[in-house]
Amino acid sequence: MAIDFKKELETAARNMIFVHDPDLLIKIIVRMVVDKVKVEHASILMYKPDRQAYVLTVSGGSLAKKIPVGLAGFDKDDSLIRFFRERDSRLLFNSDVLTLENAESCLKTSQAKERLKHLLTDVLYQMKMLETVTCVPSYFRDELLGILLLGKKKNGKKFLQEELDFFEALASNMSMAIRNANLFKELKSELDKKHQLFMRTTIALVAAIEAKDNYTHGHTTRVTNLSLEIAKKLSQKNKKAWDNKFIEKLHIASLLHDVGKIGVPEHILNKRGALTIGERNKIKEHPMIGVTILKPIKELEQALAGIKYHHERPDGRGYPEGLKGEEIPLIASIISVADSFDAMTTNRPYRTALYRNDAIKEIRKLSNLQFNPRVAEAFLELCQEGKL
């Protein structure tokens, strides 16, 4: 039976976001490649900051018996590492993926410059030593995080182009997932330290989210600032109902309200033009994905309501649970107004931004339908006072 690579890639990406242990994540990826694509072995060279080297972190299949995990290490000046750090594969083959066949053909035809020929000769030697026929680098932005090493297919056939494309896309998803897993690991450890350090790590996680969605850069910061301004206005009317703990919960929840977008495919987030019903439903999953991701962190428990319910509406037409009126937590109602106003006044791939005054009129019109009337009133007062 032919492999549905698109389906396998989506399944892998969905599973990756729920794994917060980088080492476990890598094991899952290697096991999937060995089982699904039927290769003799798959291994990953992963950069380890403590060793300042790329180390054979996980190995599955025949090679695992020959080279123990953790024994093979390559420093940054090693030929194989340097070849991918300098993106020479893209220069030579217009692709980040390097196959043994392409490397041998390039050397035979002498199409490479002298420097690259010497480097490629060393790389070829190392690939054969590692019984590797395909190398797939994994980058986060321009930083080389690791290299997926693939042995021959068990049936002896060459890799198809769709298989190579699958490996390249998998490596791209892997880099984001590993980056996020490392951020979550840092986040848990920082919770026991000073609050300022915790907030910095949270902001780093937000940066990872916004790196995935090209059209929401700065959105989280604006929503957070607006949410805190609305809360401040509400507190002026009823000081007894507010305390620093609520403000802190709101601060964290507004920063992380879109964390679940890590689980939404990039082609949907950055799509130009109208979304299909299926794509809209996929985006609607992001509040629950966010809750699932953050739920293991006990210290964030009080902020989860803001993340989970910030797309609920007083008229009951929101999601994920269709809550009505006062059933919606205030923390979520505040984020809802801030999030909607920023979305309306920001250019998106499927529409241009509204003028500020038109967006304000929209908030007023939808008070008690889409927005909590108390929160909408506080927002409108801030606008009248020229504070927004």
- The one-letter code for the residue type at 39 is V
* Helices 161-190, 22-37: inter-axial angle, 10-degree rounding: 160
The token pair at 235 is 């507190």
Question: What integer is the mean pLDDT of 262-275?
Answer: 81
Average pLDDT over residues 167-178: 81
pLDDT: which is higher, 386 or 348? 386
What's the whole-number mean pLDDT along residues 260-265? 84
Residue 375 burial class via C-beta count within 10 angstroms: exposed 0-12, middle 13-18, buried 19 and up: buried
Give the Cα separation of 253 and 306 in Å (integer): 5
Place of tokens 């290769």: 39
CATH class, domain 191-384, is mainly alpha
Supply the pTM of this predicted model.
Answer: 0.56
7 is written with which tokens? 């389906």
Answer with the residue of higher pLDDT: 31 or 279: 279
Would the pLDDT of 12 be above 90?
no
Assess contact for 371 and 363: CB atoms under 8 A: yes
CATH match of 5-179 with 3.90.1150.10: no
How is residue 107 written in tokens? 């050397």
Sorted by where each begins, the domain ranges of the chain are 5-179, 191-384
Evaluate if residue 376 carries a pLDDT over 90: yes
Find where tokens 């026991």 sit: 192
The pLDDT value given to residue 206: 73
- Out of 132-136, 149-153, 194-198, pick the least confident: 194-198
The dihedrals phi and psi of 329, each to the nearest 5 degrees, come to -60, 145
- Structure confidence by residue, pLDDT tens digits, 62-79: 665 555 666 678 899 999
Cβ(332)–Cβ(312) below 8 Å: yes
Residue 213 CB neighbour total at 10 angstroms: 18
Counting DSSP H helices and E strands in the chain, the numbers are 17, 6
CA atoms within 13 A on the CB side of 271: 13
